[in-house]
């Protein structure tokens, strides 16, 4: 067997089809068009210095310190220098468009959804037996046994067991609704009454509730969420048709995409 495998563009399209990756790829293509068309409509421009800075950040993010590293990375991804510049351009355009559309909406959105950004520091054990869970819960309340002892006995995952069931800092959306309701109603430090879910019976210690702060990291996260949701809404308005060689299923022109998305 030869050590060289030749792959054509038709092979690539065929693989995307049979691996069911085409829908997400078409969405990504349409998304890029929506961003460029909307940015042009909104009068957003890019300066050379901004593009250079974004390109430098892109190189650092991919650990492309030396020129040789950059050339190897470009070859690996079948990219030209012009392609690399286009990646930097669309990244920068996306960031500027997101800021243009939603920067002033971040603060009101944060305060309207403040509870969603609260965090909880928890420890958790999941059991199969409700009666056993209640028995352990009352024993913990009476101080007859420590949570660490229970964790060592009933948690199978070695890493979580060594950490005593520690779950880290989790947002409300990270919990199932029935657990979130109990966790964020707790008065830390508190062991909440066992909660039953399809996964089992959860015994949870709420160590701390962390009030959210609108810092720079939070602003970036909210801005990203608002922009992503907006893009999804624009995609949902489209009928994407792709031409795949022997089949007619082709993407509409940028003008069609923009007019239908408006």
DSSP per-residue letters across 202-214: EEEEEEEEEPP--
- Please, are residues 117 and 225 in contact by the beta-carbon 8 Å criterion? no
> In this predicted structure, what is the pLDDT of residue 259?
39
What top-level class would CATH report for the domain 118-210? alpha beta
Can you give the pTM of this predicted structure? 0.72
Confidence check: pLDDT of 258 > 90: no
Domain ranges of the chain: 9-107+218-237, 118-210
CA distance 116 to 110: 9
Query: pLDDT digits over 174-201, tens only?
Result: 999 999 999 999 999 999 999 999 999 9
DSSP per-residue letters across 170-184: EEGGGS-HHHHHHHT
> In this predicted structure, what is the pLDDT of residue 255?
37
CA distance 239 to 236: 8
Mean pLDDT of 12-40: 94
> In this predicted structure, what is the pLDDT of residue 19?
95
Q: Which of 107-116, 170-179, 215-224, 252-261 has the lowest mean pLDDT?
A: 252-261
Nearest to 17 by CA among 252, 234, 245, 251: 245
CA distance 22 to 43: 32
User: Sorting pLDDT into bands at 50, 70 and 90, what band is 2?
Assistant: low
Confidence check: pLDDT of 257 > 60: no
- Please, are residues 30 and 256 in contact by the beta-carbon 8 Å criterion? no
């Amino acid at each position: 067997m030869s050590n060289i495998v030749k792959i054509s563009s038709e092979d690539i399209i065929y693989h995307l089809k049979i691996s069911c990756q085409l829908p997400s790829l078409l969405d990504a293509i349409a998304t890029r068009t929506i961003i460029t068309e909307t940015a042009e409509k909104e009068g957003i421009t890019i300066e050379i210095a901004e593009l250079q800075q974004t390109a430098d950040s892109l190189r650092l993010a991919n650990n492309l310190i030396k020129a040789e590293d950059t050339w190897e990375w470009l070859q690996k991804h079948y990219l030209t220098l012009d392609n690399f510049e286009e990646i930097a351009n669309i990244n920068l355009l996306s960031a500027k468009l997101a800021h243009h559309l939603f920067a002033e909406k971040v603060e009101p959105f944060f305060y309207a959804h403040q509870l969603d950004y609260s965090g909880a520091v928890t420890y958790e054990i999941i059991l199969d037996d409700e009666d056993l869970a209640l028995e352990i819960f009352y024993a913990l309340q009476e101080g007859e046994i420590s949570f660490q002892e229970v964790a060592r006995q009933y948690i199978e995952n070695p890493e979580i067991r060594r950490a005593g069931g520690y779950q880290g800092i989790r947002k409300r959306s990270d919990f199932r609704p029935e657990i979130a309701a109990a966790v964020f109603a707790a008065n830390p430090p508190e062991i909440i009454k066992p909660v039953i879910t399809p996964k089992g019976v959860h015994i949870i210690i709420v160590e701390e509730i962390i009030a959210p702060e609108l810092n720079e990291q939070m602003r970036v996260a909210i801005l990203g969420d608002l922009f992503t949701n907006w893009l999804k809404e624009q995609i949902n308005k489209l009928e994407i048709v792709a031409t795949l060689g022997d089949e007619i299923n082709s993407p509409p022109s940028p003008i069609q995409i923009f007019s239908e998305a408006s």
